[in-house]
Structure 1
Amino acid sequence: MTPLRAGLLGVGMMGRHHARVLHELDDVELVGIADAAGDPHGVAGTEGVLPDVDALIDAGIDIAVVAVPTRFHEDAALALAEAGVHTLVEKPIAHTIEAGRRMTDAFRVAGLVGAVGHIERFNPALQELRRRLEAGELGTAYQVQTRRQGPFPSRIADVGVAKDLASHDIDLTAWVTQSDYAEVAAQTGFRSGREHEDMIAITGRLESGVIVNHLVNWLSPMKERVTIVTGEKGAFVADTSTGDLTFFANGTVPLEWESMTVFRGVSEGDVTRFAFAKREPLRVELEAFRDAVLGRPNDVVTMAQGLRTLEVVELALASAARPHARANAG
């Protein structure tokens, strides 16, 4: 078959990895790269870098990946939709809900694949976790906790930690549990002198009744990417930095230590760390996008799904901006 002609808009910290994978992807030929800032990582080779999305469209592309700052997503995506180009934009889908809706509508009306790069869905640990939850290995799920923290990334200037990082956790939680958010609230902090929040604590409940908590910041000297799903039979712990998944089973051995028998609840059981194939999440994500364009079975994250994630993020930020009741010491 004739390869899909691909274009890439943006070759910054994330775009350079898209360029590498697109060069290697079967049934895809990367024919153009555009970035107004040039090619800081030298990924374009001898062909050079085009100046903008219009020049990329003029190269005659079938599909495109948009990896520019969030505030530029809408203009680029709408131009690509008008040109009939299937497009994947990096997360979050857009800087505002209104922009995300315009993008979603444009691709739907044009009959094009519009996708969002929520890459954590393609992390091997989370894919294995979802498969095991579907198989009933946890029983009823009770709670999902995520921790996503690390040093400040200088590449991010136009959004806060909620849209940049918490969007990962909101999307993966709804996807892993296969349940949408029913309610959400949050607290934010501004500690680094920027206009956007650099820390957020989110709590909420899914439509299934599962309680969720997300702790996210750019203020930690250590990097942590952890998802914990606690349920009827124990707890799964997914480390998405390493792609590892571990199951902590509820214990079935009677306690013989007399002082511990007064406690009620579960006890510690077997701990199992699973072995499974670990493919690069970005490669799996771009394969899904390619397969969606080619009409093959796929797990692409649609723009409608990306928009819903942004809506939940905005609800959390709105909650944090409202006055809250103070707890007074007695």
Structure 2
Amino acid sequence: MSTHKPLRAGLIGLGSMGRNHARVLHGLEGVELVAVADPVAARGSAPAGVPLVRSVAELAAAGIDYAVVACPTALHEEVALDLAERGIHALIEKPLAPSVRSAETIGRAFEKRGLVAAVGHIERFNPALRELRTRLELGELGEVLQVVTRRQGPFPARIADVGVVYDLATHDIDLTTWLTNSRYESVSSHTVARSGRPHEDMVGFIGRLSCGAITSHLVNWLSPLKERVTIVTGEHGCFVADTLTADLWFHANGSQPTEWEGLRQFRGVSEGDVTRYAVVKREPLLVEHETFRDAVLGEEADIVTLKQATDTVAVAEAVLAAAADGTSVGLDPRRPLTPL
């Protein structure tokens, strides 16, 4: 990073994710966390020495260059539009908004004012997935045939305003389009609500991507097993990424013929070598913040743009619509594929 006067950053929201943002911002090179805004947080809950204020107006009055928005999704549009009107750059937690209409409204506001804005789809900064994407771009897998994800675990008490599709499945939607540089063309899904809340807590959905690959995603808050797995299968084998541990394996198609007749009849490919890669494991949230900081400074930085995040919201809407109608829902082909 070039030598610059430290950027002045503010944080909106001190919930579970907000506290993580506060921790990273408080120690981020080239950035000074000058204040945190939360209307209900307890005094003393902000990092030591950082003032706690109650509104965006008070936060802006502290003189900030950019803000991190970590309040509930339902408030994103109101807060983001306020920041845009004040000329403040923003890193907004995912999902960008609770609807495509809201996401597009936010996008227009920041674009109109020429501000830097990004969305915190943190899986793009997971070491295992970054390594996987690099290897896919190098053609190591050949044609991608299928992407499978499993994201499940106990219900998090931090969530109150959205269901599992917007809170968790948006991770899988975004990482799938990012890994394959493709868009969803259609989805079909089923949801379950078993925890007594108004929102769904389990979803299973399949999709077809513009590259021709098919996808399958299992996401829930009903499992005592916490699992974060992405499997990408292609011409030459499959990659398996565990994003909880940031481990990546490659299972190669075998080159040796199977002589056992009984096995040969049931296998399209033979089993080959299994490789576990040594991946440098930096904290994804720190890398996300470094990337956004660099973007604000005008340096080249691979942020998750508002347009990309709006595409993800569109797929999430389609997943819920497909579950409600019991049909397969096509994604509007007139919405252009945003370069990734």
| Match for residue 174 of structure 1 among 173, 177, 202 | 177
Matched-pair contact (CA < 8 Å) for 1:12–1:41: no
2:119 equivalent to 1:116: yes
Q: Distance in 2 between matches of 1:151 and 1:262?
A: 40
Q: Distance in 2 between matches of 1:138 and 1:47?
A: 48
2:132 equivalent to 1:132: no
The residue that corresponds to 1:27 in the other structure is 30
Q: Distance in 1 between matches of 2:189 and 2:240?
A: 23
Gaps of 5+ in 1: 326-330
In the TM superposition, residue 281 of structure 1 has moved relative to its aligned partner by: 0.3
In the TM superposition, residue 324 of structure 1 has moved relative to its aligned partner by: 5.3
The residue type paired with residue 151 of structure 1 is P
Matched-pair contact (CA < 8 Å) for 2:188–2:327: no
Q: Distance in 2 between matches of 1:195 and 1:189?
A: 11
The residue that corresponds to 1:164 in the other structure is 167
| Match for residue 76 of structure 2 among 73, 76, 94 | 73
2:260 equivalent to 1:257: yes
Q: Distance in 2 between matches of 1:178 and 1:154?
A: 34
Count of equivalent residues: 325
Runs (4+) of structure 1 exceeding 3 A deviation are none
Matched-pair contact (CA < 8 Å) for 2:177–2:184: yes
The residue type paired with residue 232 of structure 2 is V
The residue type paired with residue 201 of structure 1 is G
In the TM superposition, residue 186 of structure 1 has moved relative to its aligned partner by: 0.9
Normalised by the size of structure 1, how large is the TM-score?
0.96
Matched-pair contact (CA < 8 Å) for 2:15–2:70: yes
Percent of matched pairs sharing the same residue: 60
* SS of aligned partner of 1:45: coil
Q: Distance in 2 between matches of 1:264 and 1:125?
A: 28
* SS of aligned partner of 2:222: coil
Q: Distance in 1 between matches of 2:211 and 2:199?
A: 32
Q: Distance in 1 between matches of 2:29 and 2:73?
A: 28
Q: Distance in 2 between matches of 1:265 and 1:135?
A: 24
Q: Distance in 2 between matches of 1:101 and 1:74?
A: 10
Q: Distance in 1 between matches of 2:154 and 2:249?
A: 26
Show the 5 A alignment for 1:1-330. Answer: 1-39=4-42, 42-323=45-326
The residue type paired with residue 80 of structure 1 is L
The residue type paired with residue 144 of structure 1 is V
Normalised by the size of structure 2, how large is the TM-score?
0.93
The residue type paired with residue 30 of structure 1 is L
Please provide the CA RMSD for this pair.
Answer: 1.3
Q: Distance in 2 between matches of 1:156 and 1:223?
A: 17
Q: Distance in 1 between matches of 2:42 and 2:48?
A: 9
Could you report, residue by residue, the CA deviation over 1:191-212 in whole angstroms, capped at 9, with x for unpaired residues?
1111110011111111000101
Could you report, residue by residue, the CA deviation over 1:95-152 in whole angstroms, capped at 9, with x for unpaired residues?
2221111111000001001111000000000000000000011011100000000000
Q: Distance in 2 between matches of 1:127 and 1:45?
A: 33
The residue type paired with residue 216 of structure 2 is N
Could you report, residue by residue, the CA deviation over 1:8-35 in whole angstroms, capped at 9, with x for unpaired residues?
0011111111111111112111101111
Q: Distance in 1 between matches of 2:301 and 2:13?
A: 25
* SS of aligned partner of 2:53: coil
Matched-pair contact (CA < 8 Å) for 2:292–2:301: yes
In the TM superposition, residue 44 of structure 1 has moved relative to its aligned partner by: 2.8
Matched-pair contact (CA < 8 Å) for 2:97–2:103: yes
Could you report, residue by residue, the CA deviation over 1:62-108 in whole angstroms, capped at 9, with x for unpaired residues?
01000011111111111100000000110000122211111110000
In the TM superposition, residue 41 of structure 1 has moved relative to its aligned partner by: 7.8
Q: Distance in 2 between matches of 1:44 and 1:119?
A: 22
